[in-house]
Structure 1
């Protein structure tokens, strides 16, 4: 089974039973999840031992697997052997082609409802990490927001499908969970790099000839306009972008990691534990005074979604939601101090390898393609966990 086929089954809500034969620590760090996904973890070594004893049949029977079964490993190699052993025992089993590495290359795009914004907007979803990116196309120009380096060619090709040239490559902030594609698109495709002005204070390398935007600055993409909205809290420089229609209620907010559809960005990745409390307070101000004060009908297009998130059928089956629905889910307390305490108590483990990813995105260190792909192969963990 190809990774794309597996993703389609999960997205359609079909029941999927995974037999994950990786080591337990690998499974706990990063796994395939979904609303109707059931998983059994048994190491390949256990299968090999059962085969050596001539007890594969008894071993498989004890697993109580729900058919059809999809076997999973890092690269689809040992899981292919396991799937064959299962079929020999009469189990309807398939192997996930290329394993978790193949799963990390699944990248799907769906169009956001954007009839009133003078633009066509695609939302890109990487199910393996929950990273979301956006292509904004108007006239013969296009801009990509929060692009991933691993899929840089995809944005160029999709813009060309619309008869447009990729003019801008934009990051809403210095990412900590994936390697940005802005530099590659600027260097190899001639797109104008666009970053928040505060990235300079964070140590942005001078080698990148980027346009730095501040609150209120505008970026013209064909007949459409992206307006910068400084939204600090997750990081000091984070700057959201609003794609406006004829009225404020027709707008799309590309919120980066400032605001998700069910949470908001964690405040401890830029300055560590010592600066987290101050940034959590800033985050409260950003949410209550700026982002949640936008018109209720504003469509929130976040930079991430949780692994188990279900597409919103009212928004073209995308991971986007209207601001009033987002506000209802967040349940932000009235007192800033209460909010700050709850945020600091709700922080999940930090993103894997963020200490390597941030310097790479600032241009201060270099990662080859293979290393860049490997350092982002775990959940993004950029959101605050759901608060009580």
Structure 2
């Protein structure tokens, strides 16, 4: 029997989202239906609404979510009804060339549910990142469910499903920050602050936050930044070198995804340092760098996909650290809202008033 629920839908490019009736089918083989308890409002959802991902409207938005498994289909063994789970968009296949090399975090053939959720008139919905969680229930592939300790609040846990994991993973997994190293993070929104928190967790001793908003720089200090640079007022590269004995940082993380910011990150690192791009650029963006500088500085230039995370490994670890009081997940939650407030949350996101608005379901 299908489920009839309410969900947030983007029908066309740039149009305000609407709350509509969504039909969620019973789970088929390998699928699960999840009762959503909380879902963060991420920039990626806004990109979907604006047509920045693709044009497969209408979209069922929402993907940073946690909830309880309500039903499972045939053959599902990794989760059971009643399990508290965080949803992810990297359900590894176990068979592609990345998985065959043991690099499951780069799986090139991740799974989504085979069935489609629809509007009441039968129109098929495209779920954001294969999840679609601004809704009371959603249908996903069971591999998109990661069981974690239910002691963590859903409002905090769900953020691991995208933004927080992307930032933490950019520091720990992609950037491989080590104890005693120096790190600069460009852009202090949710992802950037998560990268700062991840660098602190990894033992970095100098963590430099760069942004053009003093309010965001103050937030960055709360997550572990030891230095702050307002790049609207000060040359960021000079300031970073000044804070690191003139050398630059071991790891520079671009959490903005803009050519000018990436160039700053490139020049702000020490010799043999690592540059990590985790901010998402638009398709039209290009960058030009002197090849001799790429060669002469050594080190590595890396892109971070989803923080190069493996949900089955990283989600439970970060939840455990949260429960130990060592990782401040709650601090990323600026406000909790209802399902009718997503459009206003997008407006607050534009103005930089929040790190994360989180939709809470009764």
Could you say whether these structures have the same fold, taking a TM-score greater than 0.5 normalized by the shorter chain as the test?
no
Shorter-chain TM range is: 0.3 to 0.5
Larger RCO (CA within 8 A; separation ≥ 6): 2
Structure with bigger strand share is: 2
Larger radius of gyration: 1
TM-score, normalised relative to structure 1: 0.36
TM-score, normalised relative to structure 2: 0.38
